[in-house]
Structure 1
Amino acid sequence: RNMLIVPMPLHWTRLVKRRFNQSAHLAEALARETGLPHRPDVLIRPRATPSLGGMGHDHRFQTMAGAITLREGQRRRIAGRPVLIVDDVMTSGASLSAAAETLVTHGAAEVSILVLARAGRAT
């Protein structure tokens, strides 16, 4: 298969604060182990969004609407290809949903998601 691995992007201000994108490191390691191509520059987060922690489900999805886009010139890389989005943690799925919607809108054949952990509600 010609699946393309892409990490969940961080806004540049969050990247400066954290000093690394953990999803990018996971995606790179997965690409190295599988031999699948890895493109860390396909998706971007041009709009800074507040931390989604503490927001309700619907508010998270509203906040993420349009927050993740395709980097200019990357459409040809994803057109007709399956794409795997790699992220560290999924809580509501709002960020992953925004990323997947962007990829499908711009021509990805299919979008799969791989996360290291799933955050749940405290019991």
Structure 2
Amino acid sequence: MNKRQWTGLLKSFLNLFLKSNCPLCQRPAAREFCPYCHKQVQGFQLADPSRFWNSEQPVFVWGEYGGALKRAIAALKYDGNPQLAKPLGGWLAEAWLSFPELATDNLTVVPIPMHQEKLKERGFNQAELLAESFCELTGLPLQRHGLARVKNTQPLFALTAQQRQAEMENALILGKDFRRRLPRDRVLLVDDIYTSGITVKSATKILKQSGISVYGTVALATPKKINR
């Protein structure tokens, strides 16, 4: 276990029993965020998270990727604060449930996977943790390994659309959960940040090749303008 993994696990353990500092401002916090940062992060919630749903690639997004929400996601992913996935995934679930016309029951939740090398380095897959919290509130079943990433892709945000497409080529395969048994229902993908949609397109393609229908994607954040 590397230092980053150990630090993250220790923080999570201590947070169960002790009042700790808010990871965004270091003020004392009884919960994952202090009241001030809680309010700041919530200020980036989109007025209409379903605004991108009625498209060729339906996506439901909780908030705008900026400010306190951007810092919260960075603290989750890079600063060893896996406990932040619980409130963030819970807020995503609350927003989803507020749209009963979308929030159907016959769905299986699948997080976007992380390559084993990155998973070993970070100690957790943030999309999986968000999906756990999302499923706790929605009651939907979670298949952690519906997909697997077999290519250690570089970050896509700095690449052109053509480079992103090439980078995700053959990056994902059907995971062990679905190789063992296909879902009876449609799949709802979960990710932390939705940008160009290339990763989701790749996931959808792999699932469809096995006869699995993708209902859509829920994501915690997106830039103000989605690059489709």
TM-score by length of 1: 0.88
Identity %: 33
List per-residue Cα deviations over 1:8-37 (Å, max 9, x = no partner): 000011111222111001111111111110
Equivalent runs, 1:4-15 vs 2, <5 Å = 4-15=108-119
Higher strand share: 1
Contact 1:81-1:110 at 8 Å conserved across structures: no
8 Å CA contact 2:145–2:175 kept in 1: the answer is: yes
Structure 1, unmatched stretches of 5+, are none
Task: Give the 3 Å change call, closer, same or farther, for CA 114–106 of structure 1 in structure 2.
Answer: same
Contact preservation (8 Å) 2:144, 2:177: no
Instruction: Specify the alignment match of 1:41 in structure 2.
Output: 145
**What CA distance in whole angstroms lies between the structure 2 residues aligned with 1:68 and 1:98?**
7
Give the count of matched residue pairs: 120
Cα distance in structure 1, aligned partners of 2:210 and 2:132: 23
**Does residue 199 of structure 2 align to residue 95 of structure 1?**
yes
**SS of residue in 2 equivalent to 1:62:** helix
Distance 1:14 1:120, change over 3 A: farther
Partner of 1:19: 123
More deviation in 22-31 or 65-74? 65-74
2:154 is paired with a residue whose SS is: coil
Which residue is 1:77 aligned to?
182
Q: Could you say what secondary structure the match of 1:41 adopts?
A: coil
1:116 corresponding residue in structure 2: 220
Unaligned runs of 5+ in 2: 1-104
Partners of 1:25 and 1:82 in 2: how far apart? Answer: 21
**Per the alignment, do residues 104 and 111 of structure 1 end up closer, same or farther by CA in structure 2, a change over 3 Å counting?**
farther
Instruction: Flag the structure with more relative contact order, 1 or 2, with Cα contacts below 8 A and sequence separation at least 6.
Output: 1
CA RMSD of aligned residues (A): 1.7
TM-score by length of structure 2 reads 0.49
SS at match of 2:182: helix
Is the partner of 2:196 in helix, strand or coil? coil
Asked if structure 1 preserves the Cα contact closer than 8 Å seen for 2:109 and 2:135, the reply is yes
- Structure 1 residue 110: Cα displacement: 3.2
Deviation at 1:7, TM superposition (A): 0.4
- In structure 2, what is the Cα distance between the partners aligned to 1:109 and 1:99? 11
Q: Residue 86 of structure 1 aligns to a residue in which SS?
A: strand
Residue 44 (structure 1) shift: 0.3
Asked if the contact 1:100/1:111 (under 8 Å) is kept, the reply is: no
Q: Runs ≥4 in structure 1, deviation > 2 angstroms?
A: 75-78
